[in-house]
């Protein structure tokens, strides 16, 4: 198993803290978000790792200097979104890969849920009933696979919130890249990676795996970072220490 971290974005909603620093390099206390993710991947046995850079690319490279990783660059990070960043690393991802948003702090035990899933395509979700406009929500079919994923889903249609940790099988990764090349490429350059799953779901179903109450958070706003520092990260870092 390999893993691709999408770290091209700046994180404008974080305010002044990302004026000269990408969100993935914000501090959780003892370490950055990116460093924590890299350590969690090592813990899970994932040794083949790549990072897609964009904003402040050299700082991201420096922030991962202690790890053996490959780098790809999205030079158009300010006019594209995560689907295009995924495409920038197509050489790496074509054989299948985990894909991580670089702003997620998560319990390390969540990674084996994806890695060990028998489905070639899978994503993690937190079952929730009350969600707002900001959450990337998923609806499921009767077989436990993703029927739709969108921030626009109504809460009463959704089974829960997508975490931003996804597994793509080889055939599905190739199909995602074909979308960018063949089907209105300019529009797809502006899409988030989860929106691509809607286009793939019919022929390439994604198994939805509930996280069972393990701690995690996505960092979009300053309040999210404070919660991560004070509550989520200490639990996740403790799990890494106790199992190393």
CATH for 224: 3.90.550.10
Please count the structural domains in the chain: 1
> Is residue 147 situated within a structural domain?
no
Q: What pLDDT score does 244 carry?
A: 55
Interval 147-187: pLDDT, tens? 999 999 998 899 999 999 999 999 999 888 887 777 656 77
Domain membership of residue 158 (yes or no) is no
Question: What is the span of the domain harbouring residue 110?
Answer: 2-116+164-195+215-243
**Residue 201 maps to a domain:** no
- Residue 40's pLDDT is what? 98
Q: What is the pTM of this model?
A: 0.95
95 domain-assigned: yes
> Three-state SS across the chain?
CEEEEEECCCCHHHHHHHCCCCHHHCECCCCEHHHHHHHHHHHCCCCEEEEEEECEHHHHHHHCCCCCEEEEECCCCCCCCHHHHHHHCHHHHCCCEEEEECCEEECCCHHHHHHCCCCCCEEEEEECCCCCCCCCEEEECCCCEEEEEECCCCHHHCCEEEEEEEEECHHHHHHHHHHHHHCCHHHHCCCCHHHHHHHHCCCCCCEEEECCCCCEEECCCHHHHHHHHHHHHHHHHHHHHHHC
Is 134 domain-assigned?
A: no
pLDDT of residue 10: 87
Specify if 185 maps to a domain. yes
With respect to residue 122, please indicate whether it lies within any of the assigned structural domains. no
Question: What are the residue ranges in the chain where pLDDT is below 70?
Answer: 183-185, 243-244
Decide if 179 is inside a domain. Answer: yes
């Amino acid at each position: 198993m390999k893993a691709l971290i999408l770290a091209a974005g700046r994180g404008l909603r974080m305010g002044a803290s990302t004026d000269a620093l990408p969100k993935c390099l914000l501090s959780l206390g003892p370490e950055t978000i990116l460093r924590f993710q890299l350590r969690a991947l090592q813990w899970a046995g994932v040794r083949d790792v790549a990072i897609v850079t964009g904003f402040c690319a050299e700082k991201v490279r420096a922030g991962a200097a202690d790890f053996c990783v490959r780098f790809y660059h999205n030079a158009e990070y300010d006019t594209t979104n995560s689907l295009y960043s995924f495409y920038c690393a197509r050489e790496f991802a074509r054989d299948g890969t985990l894909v991580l948003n670089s702003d997620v702090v998560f319990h390390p035990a969540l990674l084996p849920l994806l890695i060990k899933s028998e489905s070639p395509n899978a994503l993690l979700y937190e079952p929730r009933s009350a969600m707002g406009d900001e959450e990337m929500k998923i609806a499921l079919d009767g077989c436990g696979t993703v029927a739709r994923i969108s921030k626009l889903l109504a809460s009463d249609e959704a089974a829960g919130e997508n975490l931003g940790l996804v597994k793509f099988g080889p055939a599905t990764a190739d199909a995602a890249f074909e979308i960018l090349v063949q089907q209105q490429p300019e529009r797809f350059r502006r899409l988030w990676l989860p929106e691509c799953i809607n286009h793939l779901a019919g022929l390439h179903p994604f198994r939805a795996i509930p996280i069972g109450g393990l701690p995690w958070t996505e960092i979009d706003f300053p309040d999210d970072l404070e919660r991560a520092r004070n509550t989520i990260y200490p639990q996740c870092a403790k799990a890494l220490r106790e199992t190393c």
